[in-house]
Structure 1
Amino acid sequence: MAKVPALKPAVAKMAPRIASMRETRDTAQSFNINEVRRWYRSARWAQLRQDVLVRDLCRCQRTGVLLAGKAPAPNSAVVHHKVPHKGDEQLFWDINNLEAVSKAWHDSEAQREERRGG
């Protein structure tokens, strides 16, 4: 009778086939996610965010809620890209593509829309 080779050494050398959702998302995107994250931490973004909040009178543009809470409160302010920028620098910085929304709306409805692809 022939000997069956041990599977453990062969399996240990195989790359994992299941990636986390974040890894899948980050590798599927054609832009550099780290660069985009730097944009969100910049002084330019902080100023643009403030300009949007002032323009929108600190009101959620989707629900009308006053954005007076401090994160992570549901009524805290989030500046949302109406059209997802997907790494497009011009779209990212376009003030006409930005709106003030509540964290509650952003974490539910906006995320649902993005998952649907709309």
Structure 2
Amino acid sequence: MRTNTKHSRPASPPWRSWYKTARWQKLRLSVFLRDLYQCQRTGCGRLQGNTSLLVCDHIKPHRGDERLFWDEANLQTLCKPCHDGDKQREEQSTLHQRGVWD
């Protein structure tokens, strides 16, 4: 595991910085527009005009795979409750199958 010697804590994986780029912000808004600002979770369908309450979610976890990260077909709009609840529980339950996040 890499460590950040300045603060003696694990360093963030490089892919975390991708979320801070203008390219990601543009792609994120493009996905929201494509999905008409509506949660794509089956059974939800919540419309949300406030994009701070939406998540541009990776359907298949990218795990640092740049191709999957930027693939618009692998992205969907979710409302925060669906993303932070059901989706996170599903992803956490499959950690043993996916391996460790780097």
TM-score when scaled to structure 2?
0.76
| CA deviation string 1:25-76 (max 9, x = no partner) | x79xxxx61x1111000000000001100100000001100123464xxxx1
Matched, 1:79 2:56: yes
Distance 2:84 2:91 in 1: 11
Counterpart of 1:65, as a letter, is R
- Report what 1:61 is aligned to: 40
Matched, 1:37 2:16: yes
Identity of aligned residues (%): 44
Counterpart of 1:107, as a letter, is D
Q: Which structure 2 residues correspond to residues 1-118 of structure 1 after superposition, within 5 A?
A: 33=13, 35-62=14-41, 63-69=44-50, 71=52, 76-117=53-94
Which sections of structure 2, spanning at least 5 residues, go unmatched? Answer: 1-8, 96-102
Counterpart of 1:89, as a letter, is E
- Bigger fraction of residues in strand: 2
- Report what 1:14 is aligned to: none
Which sections of structure 1, spanning at least 5 residues, go unmatched? Answer: 1-22
1:101 match: secondary structure: strand
Distance 2:58 2:90 in 1: 12
Rg bigger for which structure? 1
Q: List 4+ stretches of structure 1 deviating above 2 A.
A: 68-71
Cα RMSD (Å): 1.9
1:84 match: secondary structure: coil
TM-score when scaled to structure 1?
0.66
- Report what 1:8 is aligned to: none
